[in-house]
Amino acid sequence: MLATLSRTKSVRRLAADIRSYYMVGTEVRRSESRSGCSAAAAAAAAAWRRRVPGGVRGTRHFVDQRRVKLLAGSGGKGASSFHSEPRKEWGGPDGGNGGDGGSIIIKADKFVKSLAQVVPIYKGEDGQSGGNKNCYGKNGVQSYIPVPMGTVVKEDGEMVVDLSEHSQEYLAVFGGAGGKGNRFFLTNENRAPMNTTPGVAGQERVLQLELRTMAHAGLVGFPNAVADIPGIIRGAHLNRGLGIAFLRHIERCPFLLYVLDMSTPEPWEQLQHLRYELDQYEPGLSQRPQAIVANKMDLPGAREKIEALTSRVTQRVIPVSALTGQNTEELILHLRELYDGYLCGEGKPTRW
């Protein structure tokens, strides 16, 4: 509750700052226009621009890769003490054990959409030392790293776990065990042990987090086929261009939409190159349930090419125009058909 209130206050404070900066900036610009950009006005403008927080000008980016170093908490050391009270001269050892260190857990969360919030280093909480009167030290609290669904955890390039379900957890590093107090070493032969053991250091690992978007439909096309959507170039399976960074998102899609640019002389050649790149990345990837989207049908000459394209392929061809919105209803209805077929188990991918 306190954390929610603090976040609400911080958001309100930021909004108030933005309004004040806007008002100050307006006055500065008015003074510049009245005074002909005098030295005082220029100094006030520079001071105002320095006051604008970086968060206002900053841009949030979608992050799909992170390299993190995880350090689990170390165990607390054991205590060495002896019981002492009036009229009890030989109380014996009563040093308690140290607490265990906190582990670090990576947890999939459906409300997290990017790896942007993941920081490079995580340190678990250490366990507390033991005390007298056989008191054990407090264990370190477990730390959680929320990641989006579809995050793949790798170590040295090898996949360790695939977090594809909500609330799925992976215990990445174990906390160290707490040390033993001198009470632990009490025996019939040694009635007054002095020795203790320190806590064990927590586990340390370096992991790579990769987000593979779990979309149902994957748009596959060259960069000019669809505006504002990253495209595949020839040699993408060799990591050219966006390369593997783009292909690994397509890997999870149950069905594909090949988007072809109908302004090119022979758009059916694009389809061959796209399928080749997908199969080079993962054999059989291009054979998933699919449809062909013939884009830019508003351009001259596209009508003649659509007939030649239809005669060369066996898949359904949907002519559309992303600019004018022409025939997008048919595309949406076919997407629904593919999705319903996937839910019925008719088009599940070969590898999930």
**Strand partners for 122:** 70
Average pLDDT estimate for 56-80: 83
Chain segment 87-118, per-residue pLDDT in tens:
777 788 999 999 999 999 999 999 998 899 99
Q: Which helix (H) or strand (E) holds 264?
A: none
Helices (H) and strands (E) in the chain, counts: 7, 12
Q: Looking at the domain assignment, is residue 267 inside a domain? A: yes
pLDDT digits (tens, 9 = 90+) for 8-30: 444 444 444 445 544 545 554 55
Most confident of 215-219, 222-226, 236-240, 317-321: 317-321
Please indicate, yes or no, whether residues 192 and 252 belong to a single structural domain of this protein. no
Helix, strand, coil % in the chain, rounded to nearest 5: 30, 20, 50
Last residue of a domain, one of 182, 211, 240: 211
| pLDDT band (50, 70, 90) for residue 342 | confident
| C-alpha span between 147 and 351 (Å, rounded) | 22
Strand partners for 317: 292
Does residue 102 sit within a domain?
yes
Q: Are residues 17 and 144 in the same domain?
A: no
Query: Which pLDDT score is estimated for 37?
Result: 47
What is the bridge-based pairing of β-strands 204-211 and 151-155?
antiparallel
Q: Which of 233, 227, 306, 220 is nearest to 263 (CA)?
A: 306
Strands (E), the chain: 65-71, 104-109, 121-123, 143-148, 151-155, 158-163, 169-173, 204-211, 217-221, 255-261, 290-295, 317-319
Q: Are 196 and 103 in contact (CB under 8 A)?
A: no
Q: What average pLDDT score do residues 173-192 get?
A: 95
Identify the residue with better confidence: 220 or 37: 220
The CATH number of the domain where 332 resides is what?
Answer: 3.40.50.300
Whether residues 123 and 237 share a domain: the answer is no
218: pLDDT strictly greater than 60: yes
User: Which CATH number characterizes residue 82's domain?
Assistant: 2.70.210.12
Whether residue 348 lies inside any domain: the answer is no
| Burial zone of 232 (CB within 10 Å; 0-12 exposed, 13-18 middle, 19+ buried) | buried
Residue 251 lies in a domain: yes
Q: How far apart are CA 292 and CA 256, in angstroms?
A: 9
Q: Domain ends where: 211, 233, 258?
A: 211
Q: What is the dihedral of CA 329, 332, 337, 340, to 10 degrees?
A: -140
The answer to whether residues 75 and 44 touch, using CB atoms and an 8 Å cutoff, is no
Measured CA to CA, the distance from residue 13 to residue 59 in angstroms comes to 19
pLDDT band per the 50, 70, 90 thresholds, residue 245: low
> 47: which DSSP letter?
H
Which token pair is 67?
A: 């390299």
Assigned domain for 352 exists = no
Q: What's the pLDDT at 42?
A: 59
Express as a percent the part of the chain with pLDDT over 70: 73
Query: Could you tell me if 34 and 174 lie in one domain?
Result: no
Rg (CA), the chain: 31
231 and 276 share a domain?
A: yes
What 8-state DSSP symbol labels residue 177? Answer: P
pLDDT at 288 (0 to 100):
87
pLDDT higher than threshold 70 for residue 348: no
Between these two residues, 206 and 18, which has the higher pLDDT value?
Answer: 206
Q: What is the DSSP string of 51-104?
A: HS-HHHH-------EEEEEEEPPPPPPPP--B--BTTBS---B-PPPPPPPPPE
Range of the domain at 50: 2-57
Structure tokens at 186: 């009490």
| AA letter at 4 | T
- Confirm whether 286 is domain-assigned: yes
Q: How many domains does the chain have?
A: 3
Rounded Cα–Cα distance for residues 151 and 148 (Å): 6
Same domain, 190 and 298: no
Would you say 183 and 96 are in contact if contact means Cβ atoms under 8 Å apart? Answer: yes
pLDDT band at 230 (very low <50, low <70, confident <90, very high): low
- Are residue 157 and residue 105 in the same domain, yes or no? yes
Q: Are residues 202 and 297 in the same domain?
A: no
CB 118 within 8 A of CB 209: yes
Any domain includes 349:
no
Q: Is 126 helix (H, G, I), strand (E, B) or coil?
A: coil
| In a shared domain, residues 128 and 269 | no
Same-domain pairing of 111 and 82: yes
Q: What is the mean pLDDT of the chain?
A: 80
pTM for this predicted structure: 0.64
- Among 211, 242, 269, where does a domain finish? 211
Q: Are 242 and 118 found together in one domain?
A: no
In a domain, 350, yes or no: no
Convert 35-47 to b/e letters by CB count within 10 Å (16 or more is b). eeeeeebeebbee
Contact (Cβ atoms closer than 8 angstroms) between residue 331 and residue 272: no
DSSP 250: H
Q: Are residues 119 and 205 in the same domain?
A: yes
pLDDT at 122 over 90: yes
The model's pLDDT over 259-301, given as tens digits with 9 standing for 90+, comes to 999 998 899 998 998 888 888 888 888 888 889 999 999 998 8
| pLDDT score of 294 | 93
Per-residue pLDDT for 209 more than 90? yes
